Amino acid sequence: MSVRLDIRWWLIFLSLFTPFAWLLWTVIRLQRGEWDILGPEPGKAVVWFCGSWAFNLLLLTLAVTPAKRWLGWSWLMRYRRMAGLWTFFYLTLHLLAYAALLLEWQWHEIGSELIKRPYLLFGMAGWLLMVPLAVTSTKGWQRRLRQNWKKLHKLVYAIAILASIHYLLQIRSSWFEPVLYTLIVAVLLLARMHRKTFV
């Protein structure tokens, strides 16, 4: 049984690591001068890639409880923390990529950026709310906080809403993906409200 669990752990870990490995390989190719692999704006492509995977894994984390309830996949609960930490990892990469590749570390311009792009406020708020969840994700913190641990980690629902707004406010021409992600978030949250539980 333990061997089977180890295999599942590694399969899930490698699946979540693969987008980052692809990103590293892409950056190496960019350093070699292969600028065309990410299109005309490689910086934006990297930022978009990291943000997309952060949102994907956030949805995956939210879907664990419904999958357990509706499909009987209780084994997924063991890997929810891993998915949550990878979500934070990709979200942090998304933030750093924006600061480095688009803002170019020009922090004095952050005020004007927030005025021109209000979606940044929602994205930053989502990241800030995720910091305490990542820090307190260990079993040690779970023992220390007891019932307050569950209350704290309910912030993931606010994070999902902020992520949806962040995405919706960036609609320029294609609205399909932002609306689809928002609908998935709505379904996952409504499913919990229907059961009167946010676990």
Tens digit of pLDDT for each residue in 131-160?
Answer: 999 999 888 888 888 888 888 888 999 999
pLDDT reading at 197 higher than 90 = no
pLDDT tens-digit series, residues 101-118:
888 888 777 777 777 888
DSSP-derived secondary structure for 101-153: IISTT-GGGHHHHHHH-THHHHHHHHHHHHHHHHHT-SHHHHHHHTHHHHHHH
Residues 159-175, mean pLDDT to the nearest whole number: 89
Q: What is the pLDDT of residues 71-84, one digit of tens each?
A: 877 888 888 999 99
Looking at residue 67, its amino acid is A
Token digits of residue 88: 């934070």
Q: What is the C-alpha separation between 178 and 180, in angstroms, rounded?
A: 5
Q: Confidence class of residue 1 from pLDDT cuts 50, 70 and 90? A: very low
- Burial per residue of 86-96, b for 16 or more beta-carbon CB atoms within 10 angstroms, e otherwise: bbbbbbbbbbe
| 75 alpha-carbon distance from chain centroid | 21
Predicted confidence at residue 34, as pLDDT, reads 65
* DSSP count for the chain of H helices, then E strands: 9, 0
Strands annotated E in the chain:
none
Tell me the CB-side half-sphere exposure of residue 142, using CA atoms within 13 A: 7
Q: What pTM, to 2 d.p., does this model score? A: 0.88
What pLDDT, on the 0 to 100 scale, is given for residue 95?
A: 94
Q: What is the mean pLDDT of residues 166-179?
A: 86
| pLDDT value, residue 151 | 87
Q: Are 192 and 198 in contact (CB under 8 A)?
A: yes
Determine contact, residues 114/159, Cβ cutoff 8 Å.
Answer: no
* Residue the block writes with tokens 């641990």: 149
At 9-56, the pLDDT tens digits run 899 999 999 999 999 998 888 777 766 677 778 888 899 999 999 999
Q: Which of 87-91, 117-121, 145-149, 171-175 has the highest mean pLDDT?
A: 87-91
pLDDT category of residue 198 using cuts at 50, 70 and 90: very low
Instruction: Take residue 127 and report the two structure tokens written for it.
Output: 């990241």
